[in-house]
């Protein structure tokens, strides 16, 4: 965004590949006054920067010149957070209708084509009538795939070729030859056509590509919802206290210094300071810290975070666009808008390959006409058609999507969901993995990690009694680590008993009465308030228990400290092996966390990570990713929380844990359904295999095409060796079969 200029946004319909993005950027850049253009395919949005605001009509005209539709031009991106998702949903519906029209006739044509390959069937039927039926069946498929020739024509007007050009040439050549062979069979030289023509090829190309486009649009529509989900975290109303009365108002009417009532279980509407009451607040969306924090008068709280069981009064210090949550929304929007999609490899190849093939076909026909002779016209027609057929880029068009479909299908079975083909390609190229700690390497919830008992508490029965008393109090307390203590007590088989007079002491712990005995669970300060002395044996061990940033809790029964408990976020059992596998492909791993440095360092040392960035807020994580990218690294970011969303959006590949927030998953390019880093190791290994298979497929396609083209052009004709269109069609089909078969190997390839 220009600091002293204007920024305008345009919602665009009709873009579906990197070439579309390039054409729109080229046209918008040519508008007088435009200083920079960034087109985001996922958001279907162009962001135009200029010194002064440009007339919306000029921008819309530029988009239309590129061949697309400008739905709206506006200045405030946050007012239209779901426009990209809306466009994708429309495209999904259109593609779905196209597939409904295309699939039934395609299946019918394929069955008829296979039947005509049986000599006895061909001899028993009227081949001309069957050809006519197949031609009619092709018409709804051609109509369903009309988007491809239209897009190819737009590219041609701009002087370029794309995958749409390949699809159009492949399907158009096959259909054109088939129609001529059906309607005017005697006008073609012998061998140019055959029963059934190439109608099955026509339908298959169009239908398979439509399926790929439909799957792609569905994935994009889910991704584009991220900002709307972020906005949904902010309440639309707030309860404001004025003159002793509580009034519900629209959140947009709030001002700084307003006093707001936040009840138990509600989200905080603003950033502020607690002025009355005490509660616990889940701030994991901001800090990534798994344990709720206790808040009392004077504590700072953040809008969008979730209040616990208490009710508090909060004095607003930041409202509207100045809140932390609004900053996260802006960061995600900026990072997504500035991320250019990767040019598809097949598009780059087609830009060179398709024009060359057309030229070779034309030159072939011209050369044979110049050579002359009684067979000049026949040779010219047969050889040029053979060149077009054998060079028909069916295998080239299938090389990428078949490997992607098979590979991502296997990935899904392994618990790895790729949002797009670009995500597969980018994941195979990463050089640095930035990884969050809480909920990623660790379980994401506090658990009892260490227990030490006082002298005399040394039998199983005595320990069980201690934990029964602890659980009785903590079940009724609002202590942040209460759930961890209760879970541990239940795991020890402690009986369920009741506690009376339970109260939470803010910032210190909980106190209650069990069977007439006072039980205290909490910090040293809680014990000091009751003038309870910690035994020397336990006091000396407390430093060891608290190592690694563990939360420390003392248990006192009837004024005697009987146990010391260390609570921590446990490391996932699979993390160590998974990170070891990841290191085989990724040279650098960086731990990026909002947690304390002591805790982060202990976790990093356990799993073998050397570089640690701790104590980071969302903007800090984003800054780390940007710094790594400026250094030249290709960065993948792994996270599970809302606090990770800006960094996930900025990273070259954003990876979300399946158990994380919807915001993280919507912002990310890859989601780990299995919710452990073993799935990430599988995903990286599989992305490498998929890209290797794609390169092999492209090479196989070129081998068939480039070796066959000279023979099809007739270079061996003087020696009596010809490649008529029938054989050329067979070679073309064989190349497609080879590419598909090679892609199917991905189902069985072992992962390193």
Taking residues 264-288, what's their average pLDDT? 84
DSSP alpha helices (H): ranges in 372-506? 376-390, 394-413, 421-427, 460-474, 482-491
Position 676 pLDDT exceeds 60: yes
Position 347 pLDDT exceeds 70: no
* Domain extent listing, the chain: 6-80, 82-224, 234-324, 346-441+572-752, 444-570
pLDDT value at residue 525: 87
Indicate the fold that domain 6-80 takes in CATH.
Answer: Alpha-Beta Plaits (3.30.70)
Taking residues 541-554, what's their average pLDDT? 74
Check if CATH label 2.70.150.10 holds for domain 234-324.
yes
* Long-range Cβ contacts of 53-62 (<8 Å, 24+ apart): 53/6, 53/8, 54/6, 54/8, 56/8, 58/31, 59/8, 59/10, 59/28, 59/31, 60/10, 62/27, 62/28, 62/30, 62/31
Three-state SS annotation for 622-654: HHHHHHHHHCCCCEEEEECCHHHHHHHHHCCEE
Between helices 618-630 and 324-337, what is the axis angle to 10°? Answer: 30
Tell me the chain's radius of gyration from C-alpha atoms.
Answer: 33
Position 239 pLDDT exceeds 60: yes
Residues above pLDDT 70, as percent of the chain = 80
Taking residues 617-627, what's their average pLDDT? 90
Query: What phi, psi does 12 have (nearest 5°)?
Result: -125, 130
Residues whose CB is less than 8 angstroms from the CB of residue 112 and which lie 6 or more positions away in sequence, other chains included? 130, 133, 134, 137, 196, 199, 200
| H/E stretch holding 618 | helix 618-630
| Candidate list 11, 131, 164, 436, residue with the active-site label | 436
Position 82 pLDDT exceeds 70: no
Taking residues 285-307, what's their average pLDDT? 79
Taking residues 208-231, what's their average pLDDT? 63
pLDDT value at residue 188: 59
Burial call 260-270: b when 16+ CB within 10 Å, e when fewer: bbbeeeebbbb
d(CA 364, CA 383): 7
Position 342 pLDDT exceeds 50: no
Comparison of pLDDT for 232 and 226, the residue scoring more: 232
Pairing of strands 237-242, 259-262: antiparallel
Position 219 pLDDT exceeds 70: no
pLDDT value at residue 556: 94
Summarised one tens digit per residue, pLDDT across range 466-484 is: 999 999 999 988 777 888 8
Position 59 pLDDT exceeds 60: yes
pLDDT interval class at 485 (50, 70, 90): very high
Query: What's the chain's average pLDDT?
Result: 80
Position 332 pLDDT exceeds 60: no
pLDDT value at residue 213: 72
Residues whose CB is less than 8 angstroms from the CB of residue 576 and which lie 6 or more positions away in sequence, other chains included? 606, 607, 608
pLDDT value at residue 274: 94
Taking residues 133-149, what's their average pLDDT? 92
CATH dotted code for 346-441+572-752: 3.40.50.1000
Position 585 pLDDT exceeds 60: yes
Comparison of pLDDT for 463 and 123, the residue scoring more: 463
Summarised one tens digit per residue, pLDDT across range 1-13 is: 444 578 888 888 8
Known catalytic membership, residue 282:
no
Q: Is the pTM of this model over 0.75?
A: no
Position 430 pLDDT exceeds 90: yes
Comparison of pLDDT for 104 and 657, the residue scoring more: 104
pLDDT interval class at 81 (50, 70, 90): very low
Summarised one tens digit per residue, pLDDT across range 300-313 is: 898 888 898 889 99
pLDDT interval class at 334 (50, 70, 90): low
pLDDT value at residue 140: 95
321 torsion bin: left (phi>0), alpha (psi -120 to 50), beta (else)? alpha
d(CA 415, CA 721): 53
Partners of 313 in the β-ladder: 261, 276
pLDDT interval class at 340 (50, 70, 90): very low
d(CA 125, CA 195): 10
Question: What's domain 444-570's architecture?
Answer: 3-Layer(aba) Sandwich (3.40)
């Amino acid at each position: 965004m220009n600091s002293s200029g204007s920024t305008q946004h345009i919602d665009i319909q009709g873009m579906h590949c990197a070439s579309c993005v390039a054409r729109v950027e080229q046209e918008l850049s040519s508008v007088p006054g435009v200083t920079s253009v960034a087109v985001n395919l996922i958001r279907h949005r162009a962001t135009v920067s200029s010194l002064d605001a440009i007339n919306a009509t000029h921008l819309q005209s530029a988009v239309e010149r590129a061949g697309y539709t400008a739905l709206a031009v506006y200045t405030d991106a946050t007012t239209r957070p779901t426009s990209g998702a809306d466009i994708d949903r429309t495209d999904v519906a259109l593609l779905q209708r196209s597939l409904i029209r295309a699939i039934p006739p395609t299946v019918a044509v394929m069955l008829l084509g296979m039947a005509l390959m049986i000599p006895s069937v061909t001899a028993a039927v009227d081949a001309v009538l069957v050809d006519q039926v197949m031609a009619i069946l092709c018409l709804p498929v051609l109509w369903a795939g009309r988007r491809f020739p239209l897009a190819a024509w737009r590219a041609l007007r701009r002087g370029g070729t794309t995958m749409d050009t390949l699809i159009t040439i492949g399907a158009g050549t096959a259909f054109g030859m088939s129609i001529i062979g059906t309607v005017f069979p005697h006008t073609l030289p012998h061998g140019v056509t055959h029963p059934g023509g190439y109608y099955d090829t026509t339908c298959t190309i169009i239908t398979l590509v439509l399926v790929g486009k439909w799957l792609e649009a569905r994935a994009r529509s889910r991704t584009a919802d991220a900002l709307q989900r972020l906005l949904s975290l902010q309440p639309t109303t707030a309860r404001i206290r004025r003159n002793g009365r509580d009034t519900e108002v629209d959140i947009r009417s709030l001002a700084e210094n307003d006093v707001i009532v936040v009840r138990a279980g509600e989200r905080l509407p603003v950033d502020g300071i607690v002025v009355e009451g005490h509660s616990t607040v889940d701030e994991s969306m901001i800090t990534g810290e798994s344990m709720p924090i206790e808040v009392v008068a004077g504590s700072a709280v953040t809008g969008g975070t979730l209040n616990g069981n208490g009710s508090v009064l909060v004095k607003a210090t930041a409202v509207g666009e100045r809140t932390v949550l609004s900053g996260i929304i802006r960061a995600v929007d900026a990072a997504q808008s500035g991320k250019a999609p990767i040019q598809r490899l097949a598009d780059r190849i087609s830009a060179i390959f398709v024009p060359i093939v057309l030229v070779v076909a034309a030159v072939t026909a011209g050369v044979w006409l110049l050579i002359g002779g009684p067979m000049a016209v026949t040779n010219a027609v047969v050889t040029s058609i053979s060149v077009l057929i054998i060079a028909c880029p069916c295998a080239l068009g299938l090389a990428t999507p078949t490997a992607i479909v098979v590979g991502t299908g296997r990935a899904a079975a392994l618990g790895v969901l790729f949002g797009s083909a670009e995500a597969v390609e980018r994941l195979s190229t990463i050089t640095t993995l930035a990884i969050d700690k809480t909920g990623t390497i660790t379980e994401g919830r506090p658990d009892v990690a260490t227990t030490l008992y006082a002298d005399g508490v040394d039998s199983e029965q005595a320990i069980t009694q201690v934990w029964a008393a602890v659980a009785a109090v903590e079940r009724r307390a609002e202590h942040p680590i209460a759930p961890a203590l209760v879970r541990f007590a239940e795991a020890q088989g402690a009986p369920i008993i009741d506690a009376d007079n339970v109260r939470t002491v803010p910032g210190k712990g909980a106190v209650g009465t069990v069977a007439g005995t006072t039980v205290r669970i909490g910090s040293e300060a809680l014990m000091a308030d009751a003038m309870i002395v910690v035994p020397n044996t336990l006091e000396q061990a407390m430093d060891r228990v608290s190592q690694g940033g563990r939360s420390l809790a003392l248990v006192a029964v009837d004024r005697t400290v009987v146990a010391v408990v260390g609570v921590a976020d446990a490391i996932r059992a699979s993390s160590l092996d998974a990170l070891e596998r990841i290191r085989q492909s990724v040279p650098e791993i960086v731990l990026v966390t909002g947690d304390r440095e002591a805790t982060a360092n202990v976790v990093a040392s356990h799993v073998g990570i050397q570089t640690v960035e701790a104590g980071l807020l969302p903007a800090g994580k984003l800054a780390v990713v940007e710094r790594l990218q400026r250094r030249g690294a290709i960065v993948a970011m792994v996270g599970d929380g809302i606090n990770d969303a800006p960094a996930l959006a900025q990273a070259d590949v954003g990876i979300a844990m399946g158990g994380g927030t919807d915001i993280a998953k919507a912002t990310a390019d890859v989601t780990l359904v299995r919710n452990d880093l073993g799935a990430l190791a599988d995903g990286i290994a599989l992305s490498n295999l998929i890209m290797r298979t794609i390169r092999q497929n492209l090479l196989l396609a070129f081998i068939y095409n480039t070796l066959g083209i000279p023979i099809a052009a007739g270079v061996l004709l003087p020696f009596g060796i010809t490649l008529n269109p029938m054989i050329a069609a067979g070679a073309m089909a064989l190349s497609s079969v080879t590419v598909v078969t090679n892609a199917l190997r991905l189902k069985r390839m072992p992962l390193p």
